[in-house]
Amino acid sequence: MCGIVGYLGNQDAVSVLLNGLKRLEYRGYDSAGVAFLNDGSLKVKKKKGRIAVLEESLNSQNKRTTIGIGHTRWATHGRPSDENAHPHYDCTKKFAVVHNGIIENYAELREQLQARGHRFASETDTEVLAHLIEEAYRGDLCTALRDAVRQVRGSYAVVVLSEYHPDRLVAARKDSPLVVGLGDGEYFLASDIPAILPYTRNVYLISEGEVAELTLDGVRIVNSKGEPVAKEVFHVSWDADAAERGGYPHFMLKEIFEQPRALRDTLRSRITPWGDDVVLKEISLSPEDIRSFTKITIVACGTAYHAGLVGKYVIEKLARLPVEVDLASEFRYRDPLLDPRNLVIVISQSGETADTLAALREARARGCRVLAVTNVVGSSVAREADEVIYTWAGPEIAVASTKAYTTQVLVMYLLGLLFARERGTKTPAEIAEIIAALQKLPGQMEQVLEQQDLIKELADKYHACEDVFFLGRGLDYAVAMEGALKLKEISYIHAEAYAAGELKHGTLALIVEGVPVVALATQADVLEKLVSNVKEVKAREGTVIGICLGNNELVDGTSDHVIRLPESPSLVAPILSVVPLQLFAYYMAAARGCDIDKPRNLAKSVTVE
């Protein structure tokens, strides 16, 4: 997820661009850049680091310019660096582009372009757009952009500035957001509304497949067929802060609702176009390597650790390979039994958690291959691991991790499928069936999110409770652990997750009248057992909130409240069943007036022991 801006008008374009980029830093902040016309020639200035670093480098920029584009990056392809920052030039340096999204077929496009003599200056997927526009250009910038994006598979919001057309900007979008700001004699383009709020509250929301051309005479929008589109003006009533949160009251709620997009982005280009196999080109584990591993050890902290718990169940189920999961703070001091035939997987949203980084170093010191799953390109964990798989969740601002968790879990499934294929423990048909279930998840998650009001009602009813228990068996137990942490860390309610079969070995003593117990009941093979545990709770007058797949009369008949998830195979249920728990925690904390995005005593990334 990156932030893009464009400006055309009568103000100093560079200052408008920088101001807009600062308001989009929540969309990405590992590098930034601007392109503008100076005495008719196209200039690009871009720097690794925050926007302040770019601003510093621009101080020597002394010519006033009234047209430009800008970008603040959250790296997906190519580490954060000056060269990989946007904007990107074509070979002739007559075109500059900024892009938000992921070009799935960039590798083949790059190869074809290089074979036709194009020279690349970066490792990014975006740069192919600049060269495609260069090739397609026959005098009309808008047509060139339309021809270029027609060759692209993936997601994009792209803005183009050309030296040949000092009077206009052109832009296109597919799957990534883009708005046009309508000022008084000036026009704006941006990924998101906050960037343009200081200048105008009147915008056009660009729709899928549309291309916009901005000149001082106005804005012309065409659809993918080139037909003119008449747009309604959308008047923005949010204040700047609310706009940064996309209109949501908290970043956490915004990020919960971003999960379908984050899942789609993380899946993108990691499944064959015909959807029958997993493709993890970013790792160099050979089939022999995969077959040679005798054990996998997953190491992480907090929510990432809970994603690892799901990973254990999933990888063992699919690849029949022993998987142990350990807290990084324990692993690093327990003199772990490891040898070079072990694969160690470290999971970390920030890629900077001290305990996880120390565990990674411990594993490498013992000769293990280390694979990192992280959300931050170029983070310490990414740099020090042998292999890296990125979650493409975009920046996660709220301390309570949500979209990072579900995308980490998704990567666990992809690894499980890869290992199952190479170890021959699942047939191609079985693999394709699981992939089909994974590809349905973003849409199914959108259905789950539609139940937010029901979940809010439950939170309003139970937010005064001082103890909540989460029960589950198998994969549901792993998700119950995450549900308990979410509730604890933002509502400050004591919450505990328990293996449902373990309840009667002690904790049942704490279940008395009115104590809420969230029972996850998505695992068909142990459903009856889970329901009997729920009956144990009911017999002690506990209050049960059941979470199940579809219409499950077993759970209906025993729970006080039921949250139904779309029918899906039990194996992939965790990515859906965690969402009601995230929303429950959010609304419990909201009802208790807690500081949801910045809970007391906690930090987003624990970079100390």
Residues tagged active-site? 2, 604
- Rounded CA-CA distance 554/556 in Å is 6
Question: Of 189 and 301, which has the nearer Cβ to ligand AGP?
Answer: 301
Shortest Å distance, C-beta 398 to ligand AGP: 8
Return the half-sphere exposure (C-beta side, CA atoms, 13 A cut-off) of residue 33: 24
Return d(Cα 239, Cα 261) in angstroms, integer. Answer: 25
* Residue 365 vs residues 67, 346, 370: alpha-carbon distances, Å: 53, 15, 10
Q: Which residue has the tokens 């005495």?
A: 39
Give the nearest distance from C-beta 254 to ligand AGP in angstroms. 15
- 348 versus 533: smaller Cβ distance to ligand AGP: 348
Binders of ligand AGP in range 475-504 (CB under 6 A):
489
CB 498 within 8 A of CB 471: yes
* DSSP single-letter state for residue 206: P
- What is the closest distance, in whole angstroms, from the C-beta atom of residue 115 to ligand AGP in the complex? 41
3-state DSSP assignment of residue 5: strand
Q: For the CB of residue 599, give the shortest distance to ligand AGP in the complex, in Å.
A: 8
Per the DSSP assignment, residues forming a β-bridge with 328 are none
Q: Using CB under 6 A, which of 1, 371, 399, 583 touches ligand AGP?
A: 399
In three-state form (DSSP H/G/I as H, E/B as E, the rest C), the secondary structure along 475-505 is HHHHHHHHHHHHHHHHHCCEEEEEEHHHHHH
| Nearer CB in complex with ligand AGP: 511/585 | 585
Minimum CB–partner distance for residue 350 and ligand AGP (Å): 3
Stretch that binds ligand AGP, among 284-292, 344-352, 425-433, 535-543 (CB under 6 A): 344-352
Binding mask 249-288 for ligand AGP (x = CB under 6 A): ----------------------------------------
Considering beta carbons, is residue 145 or 490 the nearer one to ligand AGP?
A: 490
Nearer to ligand AGP, 299 or 548 (CB): 299
For the bound state, the minimum distance from the C-beta of residue 330 to ligand AGP, rounded and expressed in Å, comes to 14
Least CB distance from residue 516 to ligand AGP, whole Å?
Answer: 21
Where helices occur in 283-397 by DSSP H, the ranges are 287-292, 302-319, 328-331, 354-365, 380-384
Q: Using CB under 6 A, which residues numbered 88 to 147 contact ligand AGP?
A: none
Binding piece for ligand AGP, criterion CB under 6 A, among 50-58, 270-278, 397-405, 556-564 = 397-405
Q: How far apart are CA 416 and CA 572, in angstroms?
A: 12
Name the strands in the sheet holding 234-235, side by side, starting at the edge strand that comes first in the sequence. 41-48, 31-38, 67-73, 3-8, 187-190, 179-182, 202-205, 234-235
Contact call for residues 37 and 52 (beta carbons, < 8 A) = no
CB under 8 Å to 28, separation ≥6 — which residues?
1, 2, 3, 72, 73, 74, 75, 394, 395
Smaller CB separation from ligand AGP, 52 or 603: 603
Segment interacting with ligand AGP, rule: CB under 6 A, options 343-351, 509-517, 564-572, 582-590: 343-351
Q: Cβ(72)–Cβ(55) under 8 Å?
A: no
Segment near ligand AGP (CB under 6 A); pick from 138-146, 349-357, 421-429, 558-566: 349-357
Query: Cβ of residue 381: shortest distance to ligand AGP, in angstroms?
Result: 8
Q: From CA 100, how far away is CA 174, in angstroms rounded?
A: 10
For residue 273, cis peptide bond before it (omega within 30 degrees of 0) = no
* Shortest Å distance, C-beta 500 to ligand AGP: 23
* Cα atoms in the 13 Å half-sphere on the side-chain side of 40: 1
Binding residue for ligand AGP (CB under 6 A) from 76, 269, 297, 353? 353
As a dihedral over the C-alpha atoms of residue 146, residue 151, residue 155, residue 158, rounded to 10 degrees, the angle is -40
d(CA 511, CA 427): 45
State the nearest-atom distance from the C-beta of 585 to ligand AGP, in Å. Answer: 9
Question: Of the candidates 100, 162, 342, 350, which one interacts with ligand AGP according to CB under 6 A?
Answer: 350
- C-beta closer to ligand AGP: residue 269 or 349: 349
CB-based contacts of 505, cutoff 8 Å, min separation 6: none
Q: Phi and psi of 331, rounded to 5°?
A: -55, -45
Residues 41-70, mask of contacts with ligand AGP (x by CB under 6 A): ------------------------------
Nearer to ligand AGP, 76 or 523 (CB): 76
Q: Which of 356, 444, 533, 568 binds ligand AGP (CB under 6 A)?
A: 356
Footprint of ligand AGP on residues 281-320 (CB under 6 A)? 301-304
Residues 468, 495 contacting (CB under 8 angstroms): yes
| CB-CB contact of 43 with 17 (8 Å) | no
Cα–Cα distances (Å) from 77 to 67, 160, 172, in that order, read 28, 20, 20
Residue 397 binding ligand AGP, by CB under 6 A: no
Count how many Cα atoms sit within 13 Å of the Cα of residue 530 in the half-sphere of its side chain.
Answer: 33
CB closest to ligand AGP, residue no: 302
Residues 546-605 binding ligand AGP (CB under 6 A) are 605
Binding residue count for ligand AGP, defined by CB under 6 A: 15
Residue 146 or 403 having the CB closest to ligand AGP: 403
**From candidates 66, 100, 200, 349, binder to ligand AGP by CB under 6 A:** 349
Which residues make up the interface to ligand AGP (CB under 6 A)? 301-304, 348-350, 353, 356, 399-401, 489, 605-606
